[in-house]
Structure 1
Amino acid sequence: MLVDRRTLLKGVGAGVGVAALGAPAVRAQVKPIRIGFMTVKTGPFASGGIQMEQGLVLYLKERNNTLAGVPVELFTVDTGGAPNVARTKLQELVELNKIDCMIGPLATQEALAIDDTIRETKTPTLFVAAADDLTQRRINPWVIRVTSTSSQCSQVMGDYAAKDLKFKRAATIADDIAYGHEMNSGFQRVFEEGGGKVVQKLWPPLAVPDYGTYIAQLNPKLDTLFCGFAGSNGFRFFRQFNEYGLKDKLPLLGGMTTFDESLLPRMGDDAIGLLSVSWYSATLDNPQNKAFVAGMQRDYKVDPGYYAASTYTAAAVLEATVKNLGGRFDNKEAIRDSLHTTKVANTCRGPVSLDKYGNVVGDIYIRRVEKQDGRLVNKVIKTYQNVGQFWTYNEEEFLKNPVYSRDYPAAKNLEN
């Protein structure tokens, strides 16, 4: 069991206890908040998992390792992105470390694996993972999500591709995991309802060593290719896509993690002009985001992306909950209820509120890669305001359908 308190002690004497780190005198006797943090530091998701940790640690550091003046103890575990490991680590966090709440995990398959354990242990959890159904048909009352479902942003990109870009023929490619299935299916549904056709769907394994086979299969008569990759796979795919000489021949559209800020330095100037969709951009012009970006550049020499912003936002919502509870964080039911009703007007991503299922309603951004001040950024070119997980659909009708998957919605326009 990895208990990572060293990150909380950065810059202070190793002999200083967590409870003494900047907490006001009036809070001296308040019980520390014990936060479990589940991330990924090894495997295909590692680049995102490391940024998740950076975002959370930065938020706590800026507040002298307190939330609303209450001292924090942080217990960090690395799951490697493996569902069975995530299940074991959560049990350890609950039983050994007696956590009050949890932030994480990163991957959809991990979230699905620990769903039952969260329910059984009644652990208030702020998800980063995007598994659609955990805030839809399989709603877990102990979970809230302040990022988005897998399909929430891709539904927006489906609308933009059909109506603004006027694309008619698209293919989709994504990691062959639930996250990829849900992301691409959300795009497909809205794109086709907007007048387009998805004529090809490709599903490389998460850890595929070479995308060449899939690139060679691409239909020669496409207007665009929607890409739903996680971790560093978006960079790996883009590199090979360019090697095949397709950069200026087939426009790419990225899902919310495909062309993440954490990947742009490795992608280089070839990435300029790429379009993607997300609920976050490091170029957002609000005071909270400016401070966040400055802190990430100062401490880690990087721009924050989806993964860092997810934990930075989660921490902001958690801090608002601590305030709502008057600093008392020892009643799980009270924590759960407060999390579900908390609204934060000012976060790095913009205003955050939750629907009755515990999922975020917030702005979603169409972004274009540009070069600013010598670095690549995802500049916002269009904002869709107050987008919920059900897009423009009636939620009751939406929930009568199966969860988005490889097989739903049906692919009626596929070509050989």
Structure 2
Amino acid sequence: MMNLITKALGMSLAFGLTAAPALAQEKLKVGLLLTLSGPSAVLGQQARDGFQLAMKDLGGRLGGRDVEVIVVDDELKPDVAVTKVKGLLERDKVDFVVGPIFSNVAVAVHKPIVDAQTFYISTNAGPSILAGKSCNPYFFATSYQNDQNHEVLGKVAQDRGYKKVYLLAPNYQAGKDALAGFKRHYKGEIVEESYVPLNTLDFQSELAKIASLQPDAIFTFMPGGMGVNLVKQYRAAGLADRIPFLSAFTVDESTLPAQQDAAIGMLGGSNWAPNLDTPLNKKFVAAYEAAYNSVPGSYSMHAYDAALLIDSALKATGGKMDNKDAVRAAIKKAEFKSLRGDFKFGANGFPIQDFYLVKAAKRADGKFQTEIVEKVFDDYTDAYAKECAATN
């Protein structure tokens, strides 16, 4: 009798061990740090929506793991951003910080994130200071190094024979990177290099200077609400028909809904446009418009790709985050299909990719978007990658 009881108990224990569910894996935590208030909120909203659309398309999982996405507003204030990031790192214990939009915020939060050995994936900001000697193996970007889109316009201005150009940008890191990028390929005369305070909305004094100096073109970087006002004021001053308007991030899908006809025909530089003719991109644009009733911009595309990048890396590690070197190696491989087509990482964690001249256009359905005019750079590496000694 005792032997029967012992055997039954043994069978019961064995059954219990095999039938007990495996311990549930903790949720992966991703912190989205974006500008979601103020005149430039639409940029952060596009990035947030792009990432969330990718999460929907991936079934709410990254690398097979359930995910908690924590969205915080940096308010376009570096001190606020640092406080928010410390909360993500120390309280929420996120595995990835994704964002931000603006470079002054990107630089401010860089040290606390990489010091915590947390992976930092920029979906827009690409300040030069993070691309060269200060590159870090925990930092990657799914966007670009800041200078590159502006380099497109510098080369175009040079190739079109513009002898004199007026430069205009906000006085912060990305503004300085923008003008440095333009000048890398433009060898003509800079009649004036003007910096205005971040979030400037009245450009009458600058427009008066442009009208007086009569350059062959102007080049500007003026994102968000700044760009909306500048374009409207430029058109209203009668300058748009006389002096070509070259820009990056000033006329794009985040600003066109407000600029509308005032921006038509204005030229920009980008690594992508909604009319990029690939099946994957067409599917993304259609899904985004159906979900959010707006045309996606590069901000949303980069964020969508960021989710695909994380998913690809965690698939390679079996969903595990404990071996940081293995995760880093998997990120570096970038084994996913980017919405923009060609994509691989350079030595500094920034993409090697194609860049285009684009122009603002009105679609048959009345919506506005940028459209590709021509490819300017093929598989282009940023100018700072050679200075990076980090092993990504």
Same fold per superposition (TM over 0.5) = yes
From 305, 313, 316, the counterpart of 2:308: 316
8 Å CA contact 1:100–1:332 kept in 2: the answer is no
From 131, 135, 141, the counterpart of 1:135: 131
Distance 1:258 1:361 in 2: 23
Residue in 2 aligned with 1:20?
A: none
From 141, 144, 165, the counterpart of 2:140: 144
Q: CA deviation at 1:395?
A: 3.3
Deviations 1:25-58 (A, max 9, x none): x999333211111011112321101111110111
Residue in 2 aligned with 1:50?
A: 45
Q: Which residue type is aligned with residue 48 of structure 1?
A: L
CA 1:289–1:119 in structure 2 vs 1: closer, same or farther (change >3 Å)? Answer: same
In angstroms, what is the RMSD of aligned CA positions?
Answer: 1.9
Residue in 1 aligned with 2:182?
A: 187
8 Å CA contact 2:28–2:95 kept in 1: the answer is yes
The secondary structure found in structure 2 opposite 1:74 is strand
From 311, 316, 333, the counterpart of 1:341: 333
CA 1:27–1:75 in structure 2 vs 1: closer, same or farther (change >3 Å)? Answer: farther
8 Å CA contact 1:119–1:140 kept in 2: the answer is yes
8 Å CA contact 2:274–2:369 kept in 1: the answer is yes
8 Å CA contact 1:115–1:140 kept in 2: the answer is no
8 Å CA contact 2:224–2:254 kept in 1: the answer is no
Distance 2:321 2:26 in 1: 8
Q: State the structure with more CA Rg.
A: 2
CA 1:239–1:390 in structure 2 vs 1: closer, same or farther (change >3 Å)? Answer: same
Q: CA deviation at 1:114?
A: 1.2
CA 1:61–1:139 in structure 2 vs 1: closer, same or farther (change >3 Å)? Answer: same
Q: Percent identity?
A: 28
Distance 1:381 1:245 in 2: 25
Residue in 1 aligned with 2:11?
A: none
Q: Which residue type is aligned with residue 46 of structure 1?
A: A
From 170, 189, 194, the counterpart of 1:202: 194
Residue in 2 aligned with 1:298?
A: 290
1:95 and 2:90 equivalent? Answer: yes
The secondary structure found in structure 2 opposite 1:71 is strand
Q: TM-score, normalised by structure 2?
A: 0.88
For these two proteins, the number of residue pairs brought into alignment is 364
Q: CA deviation at 1:287?
A: 2.1
Q: CA deviation at 1:343?
A: 4.0
Deviations 1:59-92 (A, max 9, x none): 1011221123321111111110110111111111
Q: CA deviation at 1:99?
A: 0.7
Residue in 1 aligned with 2:370?
A: 378
1:111 and 2:106 equivalent? Answer: yes
Distance 1:187 1:138 in 2: 22
> Residues 325-404 of structure 1: matches in 2 within 5 Å?
325-344=317-336, 346-374=337-365, 375-383=367-375, 384-390=377-383, 395=386
Residue in 2 aligned with 1:268?
A: 260
Q: CA deviation at 1:177?
A: 1.0
1:85 and 2:84 equivalent? Answer: no
Greater per-residue helix proportion: 2
Q: Which residue type is aligned with residue 313 of structure 1?
A: D
Q: Which moved more, 1:279-288 or 1:334-343?
A: 334-343
Q: CA deviation at 1:331?
A: 3.4
Residue in 1 aligned with 2:115?
A: 120
Distance 1:370 1:112 in 2: 34
The secondary structure found in structure 2 opposite 1:216 is helix
Unaligned 5+ segments in structure 1 are: 1-25, 400-416
The secondary structure found in structure 2 opposite 1:77 is strand
CA 1:350–1:232 in structure 2 vs 1: closer, same or farther (change >3 Å)? Answer: farther
Distance 2:321 2:234 in 1: 50
8 Å CA contact 1:325–1:338 kept in 2: the answer is yes
Residue in 1 aligned with 2:271?
A: 279
Deviations 1:155-178 (A, max 9, x none): 122112211x22121111011111
8 Å CA contact 1:68–1:322 kept in 2: the answer is yes
Deviations 1:206-228 (A, max 9, x none): 12241111111225331110011
8 Å CA contact 1:293–1:304 kept in 2: the answer is yes
Residue in 2 aligned with 1:66?
A: 61
Distance 2:280 2:227 in 1: 28
Distance 2:382 2:48 in 1: 26
8 Å CA contact 2:50–2:301 kept in 1: the answer is yes
> Residues 4-15 of structure 1: matches in 2 within 5 Å?
none
The secondary structure found in structure 2 opposite 1:203 is strand
Q: Which residue type is aligned with residue 106 of structure 2?
A: A
Distance 1:172 1:81 in 2: 24
Q: Which residue type is aligned with residue 331 of structure 1?
A: N
Distance 1:122 1:65 in 2: 25
Residue in 2 aligned with 1:11?
A: none
8 Å CA contact 2:65–2:319 kept in 1: the answer is yes
Q: Which residue type is aligned with residue 145 of structure 2?
A: T
Distance 1:319 1:239 in 2: 41
Distance 1:355 1:28 in 2: 39
Residue in 2 aligned with 1:406?
A: none
Q: CA deviation at 1:334?
A: 2.8
Distance 1:28 1:37 in 2: 28
The secondary structure found in structure 1 opposite 2:56 is helix
The secondary structure found in structure 2 opposite 1:126 is strand
Q: CA deviation at 1:232?
A: 2.4
Q: TM-score, normalised by structure 1?
A: 0.83
Q: Which residue type is aligned with residue 258 of structure 2?
A: R
Unaligned 5+ segments in structure 2 are: 1-20
1:234 and 2:227 equivalent? Answer: yes
From 171, 178, 187, the counterpart of 1:176: 171
The secondary structure found in structure 2 opposite 1:217 is helix
Distance 1:61 1:296 in 2: 11
From 217, 221, 228, the counterpart of 1:224: 217
